[in-house]
Chain A
Amino acid sequence: MQLNLTSDQEFFRDTTAKFLNEHAAPPEIRRLREEPDGFVAAYWQQGAELGWTSLLVDEARGGGSISGEGLLDLALVADQFGRHAAPGPLVPNNIVAGAISELSPERHADVLSGLLAGTSTASWCHLEPRPRDGLDDFALDVRVDGSDLILNGTKRPVESAGRASHLLVTGRTGSGLTQVLVATDTIGVTVRPMHTIDLTRRFSEVTFRDVRVAADSVLGEVAGADSQVERQFQQALVMANAETVGAMEFALDMTLEWAFDRYSFGRPLASYQELKHRFADMKTWLEAGHAISDLAAGAVSAGSDDAGELVSAAKAFLGQYGTELLQDCVQMHGGIGLTFEHDIHFFLRRVSLDRSLHGTPSQHRRRIAAGVMTTGNAA
C-alpha cells in the first residue's frame, strides 16, 4: 500500500476497514462457505455506499474517486479485501463498471446505475479454458450478422457469473478483439458452477452457444478493443496485486504475534535465529511487494509506457513470493496452520487464487521477456 496517503484516503480506507472488521470477520467468512453466492446482497450494497463500486466510473456518470486517481483508491479497497480475505466481486464488477462508463454510458445507463448502487453485479468473461490462458490468445468468436452479433465459445473461470446480471465478454472478430455486454439470462448463455480454493469467491464456466445480441451491445469498436482489453487487464492486475499484498501483510503480522506467544523448549519461537532470519526474509518480500505493486499501480493509473511491464513484474513477483510467504507462515504455525479452525488458510487461499488468476508468475515472466526483447530496455 502507498506509504503516504492523504487524510481523505486514510479516512476512506479506515471506513472500509471498520466495515470489514464488522461484516467480514472470521466466523462470517466460515459461514459464507455455505452461501451460494459467497456473499449476501446487503453486504455488497453497503459496500457500494462506501465507494467500492464507483471508483473507476466518471463523476458525471455517478462515480467519482477520493484522490482524483480512482484506480489508486480502489487499490486501497483491494488491500483491505486482502487483509480480511473479504467476499465480493470487487475486481470484475469494477472492470465492467469502468468500461461501461468510458465506452457506453448512455446505452447502458440503467446497468451502470445498478452496478453503482450495488443492487446488481456484473462480471468480466476474460480468461479461457485450457490449453489457452486467455492472456493474449482468445478463441471466443464474435461474428457480425446484419445488425446483430453472434457469440460462440467458452470462458472460464468467470468470477461471480452465477449472480451477475450482465457479463462483459471479450472475444475475437477476425484479427481484432471485440467486447460485448450480454445479459446473463440471454438465450444460449449457460453458467456452470466450478469448484474453487477460495471460501467466498465463486467461479463458473460460462458457455455461449449462438448467443445473439444487438450491435449496440458492443463496448467500443468491433475488432477494435485490443488496447481497451489490455487496459482492463492491467486494472485487474493492480487490484489483484494490492489484494495479495494486503493478505501477505496481515498473515505476516498474525504469524509474528504467534511467534512471540508460542513457547518451545522454554523460549518463544521469536527468539530462534533460524526463525528470525526467515521472518526477515518475509518482511523483505512484503516490503518489495508493496513497492512494486504501488509503482505499477501508479503507472497503470497514469497510463505510462512502462505500465504493462511494471504490472507484470508486480504480478510475477507477488505470485511467487506471496504464496511463498503464506506457505512459510503455515510452516511457522505447525499442524494448527493446516486446520480449518485456524484463520491462516483464509489468506493462503486468497493469495493462491490471485496467483493462479490473470496469468501465473511464469506467464508474466514471459510477458516481461517479450517486452524486453522488443524494446531492448533492460538496462
Chain B
Amino acid sequence: MSTDATEDLDAFRLRARSWIRDNLKPAAAGATAGVLRNNSTDEEELAQVAHERELQGMLFDAGFAGLCFPAAYGGQGLTPAHQQAFNEELTGHEFPVRLQAPTISPCAAVILDFGTEEQKLAHLPAILRGDELWMQFLSEPGGGSDVAGAQTSAVRDGDEWVLNGSKVWTTGAWWSDWGLCLARTNWDVPKHRGLSVFMLPIHQDGIDVHRIEMLNGTKEFCQEFMTDVRVPDTDRIGQVDDGWTVGIRWMFHERMLHNSPYVTIPAGDAHAGIGASSVLRVARESGKLDDVWVRELVGEARMLQLTTEALQRRLTEGMSSGVMSDQSAAIGRLFSGVVSTRTNTIAFEIAGGDSGAWTDDDGAISDCGSDFLMRQVSTIGGGTTEMARNVISERVLGMPRERTLDRDIAFRDVPRGGPS
C-alpha cells in the first residue's frame, strides 16, 4: 500500500478524535469489569446487542468500520497503525464490544482469507455495518482441545450439504445471526484431511440453541444441536476436505484475540475482566492502599498489564514483518491467560473476607469472589494454555511432537471415548 493513497496517521487521528467525542458516550463505569458476570436480564442484554449494532452502523457510516478491511468489502483499506490510533482515541468511550470477537475476528477475517468474491461481498459489508453477528461453530462436546477431531458430519446431497452434530461454547449464539462451522466431510481419511468449513444461519429449523448455565449463573455460552441442517454448497468456505487449512488460519486469528488489526477495542481495555484498574479500585475501596503488601500487589498487577501490552505489540510487529512465525501468537495467548489468572487472584487476595461474603453496597469489592470462581476461563477459553504450550514448544522452539494415535489412520477408526 503506498503511503500517498493512505490517509496520514495524524490527520486520521484528529478526525477520529473529533468524531468519537461528538458521537459516542463515555463508557459506563465498570461495564467490562469482572469475569463474565451475570449482571443483566435477557431483555437488557438484547437491548444492549441492538444498541451495539447501531454503534457499529454509525462507525460504518462515518468510515471507521473495518479499518484494515479492503474498501471493496466495506472496509477502509488502512493500516494496523490506523486501527491502533483509533483504539487509542476510543479509550473511555462506549463501543460495539459484541461485534468484535468472534464476529470480526476470527469469523470475518476467515471469510476475507478464504471466501469467494461472492461470499465476501455477501457478508463482509453486512458484518461491518452491524447487520450480521457471527459465532464460531468450532468446539464440540466430545472435542475440547482436539479441534481437528470434529465429529459434526456434513454429507453431500446434490448442490447441498446435510449437517448433523453438536457445537458448544458459542458465546451469545442466542442473539447472533450466522455460524462459521467446521464439519467432517470424509471419515475415510486421517482426521486433518476430511474436514470442510461452512457458513450457516443460526436461527433455522434443525438448529436447537441451548443456553448453558455457568457456575456463576451467566448464560452467555450456548450449545447447538444440528439435525439435518441443509447448507448450499455455495456457502462452503475453502475446498472440500481441506477445511484444516482454513482451521489453522482460523485459530491463528482466534489466538490474536484483541490484538488483531481487524478488531476495534479501546486501548488499555484489551484485557477487560480483572485488570490493573480493577485491582486498584478494590484496593482503594478496601481502604488498604497504605498497606505495603497491597501496594506490592497493585504494582504487580500494573507491571503484568504493561508487559502483556508490550508483548502483544512485539508479537504483532514480529509476525507482520516475518521475523516471527504466525505460531508465535500462542506466546501472547499463554502470557495473557496466565496474567489474567494472576491478576484475578490478586483482586481476590486484596478483597480479603469481603470476597467470600459481601453486600450490594460493597462496590468494586462485590463479586471478587464470584470472579475468582470463574478464574480459569482465561486459560481455557479460546484454546487452553496447555495447547498453547504445546504449540510454543513444538512449533516455535522445534521440540519433538507429542506422539498421537490418530494421525495416520482413517478418522472412523480412531478410538473414541463414550458420548458426552
Chain A residues at the B interface, C-beta cutoff of 8 Å: 3-4, 256, 259-260, 268, 270-271, 273, 276-277, 279-281, 283-284, 287-288, 290-292, 294-295, 309-310, 312-314, 316-317, 362, 364-370, 372-373, 376, 378-379
Contact = CB atoms under 8 A, between A and B. Distances in A.
Contact of A313 (B298, B303, B402): B303
A53 B280 CA distance: 42
A378 B334 contact: no
A271 B394 CA distance: 10
A288 B279 contact: no
Contact of B317 (A4, A268, A288, A317): A4
Contacts of A277: 386, 389-390, 393
Contacts of B279: 378
Contact of A292 (B296, B306, B318, B388): B306
A379 to B, nearest CB: 5
Contacts of B97: none
A47 to B, nearest CB: 28
Q: Give the dominant DSSP class at A's interface.
A: helix
A316 B300 CA distance: 8
A264 B280 CA distance: 48
B399 A367 contact: no
A36 B318 CA distance: 43
Given A287-B331, A292-B307, A271 B400 contact: yes
B24 interface: no
Given A280-B334, A292-B310, 19 more contacts: A3-B314, A3-B318, A3-B321, A4-B323, A268-B400, A277-B390, A281-B389, A284-B335, A288-B310, A291-B314, A292-B306, A295-B306, A313-B306, A364-B303, A365-B303, A366-B292, A378-B298, A378-B305, A379-B275
Report, nearest first, the 5 A-B pairs whose CB atoms are least far apart: A365-B299, A276-B393, A280-B392, A369-B299, A280-B389
Interface of B: 91-92, 268-269, 275-277, 279-280, 289, 292, 295-308, 310-311, 313-315, 317-318, 321, 323, 328, 331, 334-335, 386, 388-390, 392-394, 396-397, 399-400, 402
Contacts of B315: 287, 291
B394 A368 contact: no
B397 A379 contact: no
B303 A288 contact: no
Nearest to A318: B307
Interface centre among B305, B311, B402 (most CB of A within 10 A): B311
B311 A288 contact: yes
Contact of B299 (A273, A284, A288, A367): A367
A287 B307 CA distance: 10
Contact of B393 (A280, A294, A364, A366): A280
B301 to A, nearest CB: 8
Contacts of A288: 307-308, 310-311, 335
B399 A317 contact: no
Contacts of B323: 3-4
B306 A309 contact: yes
Nearest to A271: B400
A288 B313 CA distance: 10
Nearest to A366: B295
Given A284-B334, A287-B331, A313 B302 contact: yes
B277 A368 contact: no
Contact of A369 (B268, B302, B393): B302
Interface centre among A270, A283, A366, A369 (most CB of B within 10 A): A369
A63 to B, nearest CB: 29
Nearest to A373: B289
B303 A273 contact: no
Given A4-B323, A259-B399, A379-B277, A372 B299 contact: yes
A379 B314 CA distance: 20
B113 to A, nearest CB: 24
Contacts of B275: 378-379
A317 B92 CA distance: 28
Interface centre among A273, A288, A317, A376 (most CB of B within 10 A): A288
25 contacts: A3-B321, A256-B399, A271-B400, A273-B390, A276-B397, A277-B390, A279-B397, A280-B388, A284-B335, A284-B392, A288-B335, A291-B307, A292-B306, A310-B306, A313-B307, A314-B307, A316-B303, A362-B296, A369-B295, A369-B302, A378-B275, A378-B277, A378-B301, A378-B305, A379-B276
A283 B306 contact: no
Given A4-B323, A280-B388, A378 B280 contact: yes
B396 to A, nearest CB: 6
Contacts of B305: 378
Contacts of B295: 365-366, 369-370, 373
B390 A276 contact: yes
B334 to A, nearest CB: 5
B307 A317 contact: yes
A314 B309 CA distance: 12
Contact of A276 (B310, B331, B389): B389
A177 B38 CA distance: 54
B300 A365 contact: yes
A372 B276 contact: yes
Contacts of A280: 334, 388-390, 392-393, 396-397
